[in-house]
Amino acid sequence: MRRSCYCGELRTEDVGREVILMGWVQSLRDHGGVIFVDLRDREGVVQVVFNPEISEEAHRLAEELGDEYVIAVRGRVQRRPPGTENPRIPTGQVEVLATELKVLNRSRPPVFPIEDRLEVSELVRLRYRYLDLRRPSMFRNMRMRHEAAQIIRRYLSSLGFLEVETPFLTKSTPEGARDFLVPSRLSPGTFYALPQSPQLFKQILMVAGIDRYFQIVKCFRDEDLRADRQPEFTQVDLEMSFVTEEDVQEVIEGLMVELFEELLGKTPHTPFPRIPYQEALERFGTDKPDLRFGMELKDLGDLVRESSFEVFLKELEGGGVVKGLVVEGGAGFSRKELDELVREAMELGAKGLAWVRITQDGWQGPPSKYFPEGLKERIMERTGARTGDLLLFVADRKQKACEILGELRLKLGRRLGLIPEGGYQFAWIVDFPLLEFDETEGRYVAIHHPFTSPKEEDVERLEEDPLSVRARAYDIILNGHEIGGGSIRNHRPELQKRIFRLIGFSEREAHERFGFLLEALQYGAPPHGGIALGFDRLMMILCGSDTIREVIPFPKTQKGTCPLTGAPSEVEPRQLKELHLKLGL
Ligand code: AMO
Ligand code: AMP
């Protein structure tokens, strides 16, 4: 028997056709002698009818079937009798009357039912990922991912990008995480690092004259995992020669239009808004704001200075800020809900959260009495707050106050259902600082990565006022996720060396770690820049999933383990010996 079509493809046009189907037994019902099997393959489910009057042999074999048995069925497509159609599935108007059945394999009872509504822990799903991936929603995610990869390849190829592979066994490429190391057997005591990104190789490809490079590529970062982070993940990585920020951004905007049109039938509005980093922080309290709803933070320092509320005055005196947030209709929050909100703010590191309910009878809440009437009105004007709303204030150092209120904005936005389903809001975050001061390391570190170019007009301040230097870097954000980041690079070796020096690498260290790059830059490196998209994060949003694990076929758990294979696992003493390794501290 040779398969003629997929189960899920059959429609009324196929009535009368003889088909051979192969798939898994989704369910089994014995209706007084006639057996109904829902047969499933990746394209869907179709009902197969085993009637002893049509084939005694097939019916007898069908009696022995169990869930998830793998079978082949020959039969004729027929219209379902009136009243028995199932409008909930695409094949619901037809059924297949079986004339022959072959059991290709049996199955143990599945650990969980193969259906989208599933109440089973993720650990179990990952342990039996082959069963989990049989579920329609998971197959849909895998197919979407495949389609997206095809669209990306087609689009970038049409713009002259070449897909070039770069090594996995390589030297450390710093992107701010720890490296995964691979011991070398042939050079005892030395290690390869798995790349945190292909950053250095793609720059070298520009020196090599490739001009436009891309790769859909695995990256490896040994960092703590979150819903949108995995130790190995996939980037859509690209690099271009002789370009500015706008050229890179235009390519990516075009790619997003292509992806969203083809996969979701939606056309994002281009160009995407450009929001300077500082502005994003001030308005949304984060450099990856969810722009699908408003509820912007407002700076109230100059106004609350006129109040007599000590908590705020003290913070302002110490150089801090007071930021406010309006929760529309929030005056109705119960005392319990407000206490909970204060607790959440404190958990985020706030020293406190001042709240005011704006009611018919005026302001109600701890700081109200310290605010004269006229001032209340000006605060309401500035924030747009009206009767019935709730006003929240956080006083702290600027960065902290913004971040705390930004988190509260997001929590409240979700809780109050302010975030529209199916909306997509892109933006570019630009004008990042080049460096930040890392307190624990006691030195400057690159915010993007050390190969990012400073803005031309800021270069002269590099040494005297490093924190004021802005980077030629850009992040692309979508619905509150950073889905990509890139920059224009340092193509002149002198500037690159200055930056290495600034971030605390001695000449020798810079040479040891990145000598090959510095050398390559000396052989006619063209101006260049690029970007990498987090492919998993992008797919998570396109598929409407909550975590990237839903769009990765075999993801790791939060602890970095693979429940299916049991990785990571111990190795034979012999292997360690070959690698010249000894365990134990
Ligand atoms: P960056 O480090 O910003 O830039 O990474 C680019 C994008 O990759 C995604 N990403 C991740 N996704 C899942 N799990 C992770 N652990 C993870 N880490 C990052 C994010 C991020 O925006 N070489 C530069 C790019 C460049 O400058 O061209 C780089 O890797 O969506
Ligand atoms: P306290 O004087 O500490 O009892 O605080 C009075 C009110 O101000 C309480 O509602 C606190 O939650 C709030 N509060 C205290 N510190 C801050 C702060 N840094 N920012 C905002 N509100 C605060």
- For residue 54, the model assigns a pLDDT of 97
CA of 393 to the centre of ligand 2 (A): 9
CA of 236 to the centre of ligand 1 (A): 9
Mean per-residue pLDDT, 457-474: 97
Alpha carbon nearest to ligand 1 atom 16, residue = 229
Taking CA atoms, 496 is separated from 203, 524, 565, in Å, by: 13, 14, 43
- Quick one: what percent of the chain has pLDDT higher than 70? 100
Reported as a pLDDT band with limits 50, 70 and 90, residue 386 is very high
Alpha carbon nearest to ligand 1 atom 29, residue = 532
Alpha carbon nearest to ligand 2 atom 15, residue = 352
State whether 325 and 406 are in the same domain.
yes
CB distance 297 to 409 below 8 Å:
yes
CATH label of the domain that carries residue 35: 2.40.50.140
- For residue 561, the model assigns a pLDDT of 97
Q: CA nearest 452: which of 515, 406, 502, 409?
A: 502
State whether 415 and 434 are in the same domain.
no
CA of 351 to the centre of ligand 2 (A): 7
CA of 273 to the centre of ligand 1 (A): 21
State whether 360 and 315 are in the same domain.
yes
Query: Residue 184 CB: number of other CB atoms within 10 A?
Result: 14
Sign of CA dihedral 259, 260, 265, 268: negative
Reported as a pLDDT band with limits 50, 70 and 90, residue 225 is confident
Share the mean pLDDT of the chain: 97
The closest-lying atom of ligand 2 relative to the alpha carbon of residue 365 is 10
Q: Which ligand is nearest to the CA of 304?
A: 2
Residue 471 Cβ < 6 Å to ligand 1: no
pLDDT at 71 > cutoff 80: yes
Mean per-residue pLDDT, 260-286: 98
For every residue of 313-344, DSSP letters joined together read HHHHHTT-EEEEEEETTGGG--HHHHHHHHHH
- For residue 172, the model assigns a pLDDT of 82
CA of 313 to the centre of ligand 2 (A): 11
- Can you give the pTM of this predicted structure? 0.96
For every residue of 360-373, DSSP letters joined together read TTEEESTTGGGS-H
- For 164-182, how does the pLDDT look when each residue is reduced to its tens digit (9 = 90+)? 999 999 998 777 899 999 9
Mean per-residue pLDDT, 242-250: 98
Reported as a pLDDT band with limits 50, 70 and 90, residue 110 is very high
How far is 373 from 394, CA to CA, in rounded Å? 21
For every residue of 451-517, DSSP letters joined together read TBPBPGGGGGGTTT-GGGPBBSEEEEEETTEEEEEEEEB--SHHHHHHHHHHTT--HHHHHHHHHHH
CA of 182 to the centre of ligand 1 (A): 22
Residue 486 Cβ < 6 Å to ligand 1: yes
On whether residue 125 sits in a domain, the answer given is no
On whether residue 131 sits in a domain, the answer given is no
On whether residue 100 sits in a domain, the answer given is yes
Residue 222 Cβ < 6 Å to ligand 1: no
On whether residue 188 sits in a domain, the answer given is yes
Alpha carbon nearest to ligand 1 atom 13, residue = 229
H/E element, 193: strand 191-193
The pair of structure tokens assigned to 65 is 């079937």
How far is 242 from 404, CA to CA, in rounded Å? 41
State whether 469 and 534 are in the same domain.
yes
State whether 401 and 436 are in the same domain.
no
Alpha carbon nearest to ligand 2 atom 8, residue = 354
- For residue 581, the model assigns a pLDDT of 95
Mean per-residue pLDDT, 469-474: 98
State whether 11 and 87 are in the same domain.
yes
Q: 3-state DSSP call for residue 150?
A: helix
pLDDT at 265 > cutoff 90: yes
How far is 308 from 371, CA to CA, in rounded Å? 7
Name the amino acid, one letter, at 372.
Answer: P
- For residue 25, the model assigns a pLDDT of 98
How far is 439 from 462, CA to CA, in rounded Å? 19
pLDDT at 226 > cutoff 90: no
Mean per-residue pLDDT, 75-85: 97
Q: Which ligand is nearest to the CA of 318?
A: 2
Alpha carbon nearest to ligand 1 atom 20, residue = 534
Residue 229 Cβ < 6 Å to ligand 1: yes
Q: Which ligand is nearest to the CA of 341?
A: 2
CA of 439 to the centre of ligand 2 (A): 27
Residue 482 Cβ < 6 Å to ligand 1: yes
On whether residue 30 sits in a domain, the answer given is yes
Q: CA nearest 41: which of 100, 117, 96, 123?
A: 96
State whether 256 and 304 are in the same domain.
no
For residue 129, give every residue at least 6 positions away whose Cβ sits within 8 Å of its Cβ, in sequence order, or none. Answer: 553, 554, 564
- Quick one: what percent of the chain has pLDDT higher than 90? 97
Q: Which ligand is nearest to the CA of 309?
A: 2
The terminus-to-terminus CA distance of the chain in angstroms comes to: 61
The closest-lying atom of ligand 1 relative to the alpha carbon of residue 533 is 7
How far is 8 from 336, CA to CA, in rounded Å? 51
Sign of CA dihedral 424, 428, 434, 436: negative
pLDDT at 317 > cutoff 90: yes
Residue 174 Cβ < 6 Å to ligand 1: no
Alpha carbon nearest to ligand 1 atom 27, residue = 486
Residue 476 Cβ < 6 Å to ligand 1: no
CA of 144 to the centre of ligand 2 (A): 49
Whole domain around residue 528: which residue ranges?
139-274+427-550
Residue 537 Cβ < 6 Å to ligand 1: yes
- For residue 242, the model assigns a pLDDT of 98
Last residue of a domain, one of 419, 450, 475: 419
Reported as a pLDDT band with limits 50, 70 and 90, residue 585 is confident
Reported as a pLDDT band with limits 50, 70 and 90, residue 29 is very high
Alpha carbon nearest to ligand 2 atom 10, residue = 354
| Residues within a 6 A CB radius of ligand 2 | 311, 315, 342, 351-354, 366, 393-396
Mean per-residue pLDDT, 313-319: 97
CATH label of the domain that carries residue 180: 3.30.930.10
State whether 497 and 439 are in the same domain.
yes
CATH label of the domain that carries residue 310: 3.30.1360.30
Alpha carbon nearest to ligand 2 atom 23, residue = 352
Residue 536 Cβ < 6 Å to ligand 1: yes
State whether 76 and 29 are in the same domain.
yes
Residue 230 Cβ < 6 Å to ligand 1: yes
Reported as a pLDDT band with limits 50, 70 and 90, residue 584 is confident
Alpha carbon nearest to ligand 1 atom 15, residue = 229
- For 484-509, how does the pLDDT look when each residue is reduced to its tens digit (9 = 90+)? 999 999 999 999 999 999 999 999 99
CB distance 453 to 495 below 8 Å:
yes
- For residue 20, the model assigns a pLDDT of 98
On whether residue 472 sits in a domain, the answer given is yes
Q: What share of the chain is helix, strand, coil (3-state, %, to 5)?
A: 35, 25, 40
The closest-lying atom of ligand 1 relative to the alpha carbon of residue 225 is 16
Last residue of a domain, one of 385, 419, 453: 419
Domain count, the chain: 3
Q: Tell the residue number behind the tokens 């074999």, with chain if given.
A: 61
The best mutation among 299, 307, 308, 311 to test binding of ligand 2, ranked by most ligand atoms within 8 Å of the C-beta, falls on: 311
CA angle 353, 406, 274 (to 5 degrees): 155
For residue 275, give every residue at least 6 positions away whose Cβ sits within 8 Å of its Cβ, in sequence order, or none. Answer: 283, 289, 427, 428, 429, 430
On whether residue 568 sits in a domain, the answer given is no
State whether 77 and 156 are in the same domain.
no
CA of 347 to the centre of ligand 2 (A): 14
Which residues are paired to 295 by β-bridges? Answer: none
CA of 353 to the centre of ligand 2 (A): 6
State whether 41 and 166 are in the same domain.
no
On whether residue 184 sits in a domain, the answer given is yes
The best mutation among 315, 353, 357 to test binding of ligand 2, ranked by most ligand atoms within 8 Å of the C-beta, falls on: 353
The closest-lying atom of ligand 2 relative to the alpha carbon of residue 354 is 22
State whether 456 and 369 are in the same domain.
no
Residue 175 Cβ < 6 Å to ligand 1: yes
- For residue 249, the model assigns a pLDDT of 98
Last residue of a domain, one of 397, 419, 441: 419
- For 400-454, how does the pLDDT look when each residue is reduced to its tens digit (9 = 90+)? 999 999 999 999 999 999 999 889 999 999 999 999 999 999 999 999 999 999 9
- For 116-166, how does the pLDDT look when each residue is reduced to its tens digit (9 = 90+)? 999 999 999 999 999 999 999 999 999 999 999 999 999 999 999 999 999
H/E element, 23: strand 18-31
- For residue 56, the model assigns a pLDDT of 97
